[in-house]
Amino acid sequence: MKPLPAIAQTKKKDYGIFFTPDWVVDFMVELIAGGLLKKNEISILEPACGGAQFLIGIKRKNPFLFKKAKKVGVEINKEIIRHIEYLTSHIDLVHADYLLWDTKLRFDLIIGNPPYGIPSLSDHYSLKVDNATKQKYRNIYTTWYGKYNLYGAFIEKSINLLKENGQLIFIVPATFMFLDEFKKLRSFLARHGKTQIIYLGPDVFKPEADVATVVLNFKKTKAMSHRFILSEYKEGKVIQIRKENRWQGEIILFSTTFSKKLDDLCSYRLGDVYDIKISPRTPEIKHHPHVKKEKLSGHLPILNGSNLKCNHILYESLTGYWIAKEKITTLRNFFTKPHIVVGLGFREDGRVGAAYDARLYPWMGDVYHLLKKNSILTLNYDLDDEEVVEYLSTNVVKRYIKDIFREVTYHLSITQLKLLPLPSKKEWEIIKKEWL
């Protein structure tokens, strides 16, 4: 294929475009269900088609299917459509925003690589979408939640455009497996058919994008089977990791012999014992009436993730923000209580950054705060906060996180923290004896 014209090249990031390696295209084409291949008439859609890689991939891998199929490609970028028209004389190209595309067409197969990114005009995000368009998306898509990634809406739209027993094959980031923003999407998938997730790992789109990806292989059915399969593509083979026949859209985790052993040993989860709060974000700190940008008498520095090490806190100013000690409660009430602090990101050696803040300093940014719950369950919990910090900072927890979350995220969410197994005092002694 000829390179894209300059204007299209400059728009790649704005539209969330990442071109798919041919081996991935071929692998996805090979996943097309046998029942669809046998149909006399079949309709195929490639959303956000770009260079129509997947339709052309079908032509390359299965020319008979390509020849008999009605083929549609939808693309928002007119320059890209003009560039590929000479390649796609047998494809109906539609110039439209796929998420706002109004059509009565329904498809047997939808295949492709939807755009990835948080839609926004903010400089923090690369996928440029104006606020009015973003609000339209919010109004249309039932799975939209929080800082939703555009690929989630593409999945919902595509499933709605599938015929009964139709198939969706997308390559997407693996983040929808367990992040809170995708809880509605997971439930949507469980309600509408059978889901297979095939993990490809973090290297598919490097160096353009550092993102762990999966192939979502979905069959739309009326039967409420809720079947879910998690697999991994490794050395040319698809290896099944786990299977659920009664999946309701719960978080999807990897598992290993080690992670199962730690799960079985520990009687608690971190979320059973602790409420987890997050620090004030930078905009709140900047506009707070009592926050100063200079050190004054009686003021404490506001700390952030850079101050947090494994089982250690640097009590010095790294942010350049200060607040009077008596005004700390205007930021957060829990800053006045000794408690555990945990960094969102991992430390340089891959361990969790956790420490016990006994000096009651204020925090900002990417730091969580663990506050022990006042419940019957916590009354029986016998590991103290300092021991919990010691446990969280171990290579045992580092290994567990790597085993169940793989390379999907580079920082911990509240949901992920809540899921971490937490030992009692007796169980902690076993861990230290057997694994440390």
pTM of the model: 0.89
Q: What token pair was written down for 190?
A: 């469980």
What was the pLDDT predicted at 2? 35
Average pLDDT in the chain: 91
Quick one: average pLDDT of 326-353? Answer: 93
Indicate whether 108 pLDDT > 90: yes
Q: Which two tokens stand for residue 127?
A: 């996928």
Assess whether pLDDT exceeds 60 at residue 5.
Answer: no
- pLDDT for 267 equals 96
- Contact between 5 and 79 under an 8 Å Cβ cutoff? The reply is yes
Given pLDDT bands bounded at 50, 70 and 90, which one contains residue 133? very high
d(CA 429, CA 436): 10
Segment 23-72, tens digit of pLDDT? 999 999 999 999 999 999 999 999 999 889 999 999 999 999 999 999 99
pLDDT digits (tens, 9 = 90+) for 247-288: 999 999 999 999 999 999 999 999 999 999 999 999 999 999
pLDDT at residue 378, as a whole number? 82
**Domain 260-431 listed as CATH 3.90.220.10:** yes
Q: In what order do the strands lie in the sheet with 274-278?
A: 274-278, 367-372, 339-346, 352-357
Task: Give dist(CA 259, CA 401) in Å, integer.
Answer: 9
**Residue 347 in this model has a pLDDT that exceeds 90:** no
Output the pLDDT for position 87.
Answer: 64
Nearest to 267 by CA among 114, 151, 424: 424
Please tell me the predicted confidence (pLDDT) of residue 380.
Answer: 87
User: Is pLDDT of 17 > 60?
Assistant: no
pLDDT bin (cut points 50, 70, 90) of residue 81 is confident
Mean pLDDT, residues 182-209 taken together: 93
Find the angle CA(102)-CA(119)-CA(342) to the nearest 5 degrees. Answer: 140
Would you kindly state where each structural domain of the chain is located, as residue ranges?
A: 6-252, 260-431
Amino acid code (one letter) for 194: K
Q: Which residues are catalytic?
A: 113-114, 116, 205
Give the per-residue pLDDT at 404.
95
Residue with token string 């709605």: 160
Q: How far is CA 397 from the centre of its chain?
A: 21
Q: CA 89 to CA 97: how far, in whole Å? A: 21
- Residue 127's pLDDT band, with cuts at 50, 70 and 90, is confident
pLDDT at 219 over 80: yes
**pLDDT-derived band at 225, boundaries 50, 70, 90:** low
- The pLDDT, as a whole number, for residue 129 is 87
Percent of the chain with pLDDT over 70: 93
Q: What is the mean pLDDT of residues 405-418?
A: 89
Model pLDDT for residues 158-182, shown as the tens digit of each residue? 999 999 999 999 999 999 999 999 9
Residue 88 has pLDDT above 90, yes or no: no
Q: Do domains 6-252 and 260-431 have the same CATH topology?
A: no
318 has a pLDDT exceeding 80:
yes
pLDDT at 16 over 50: no
| pLDDT(125) > 70 | no
Supply the CATH classification number for the domain 6-252: 3.40.50.150
8 A C-beta contact, residue 129 and residue 149: no
Looking only at the bridges linking them, the beta strands covering 291-292 and 322-324 are antiparallel
Give the pLDDT band of residue 227 (cuts 50, 70, 90). Answer: confident
Give the residue-averaged pLDDT of 199-211: 88
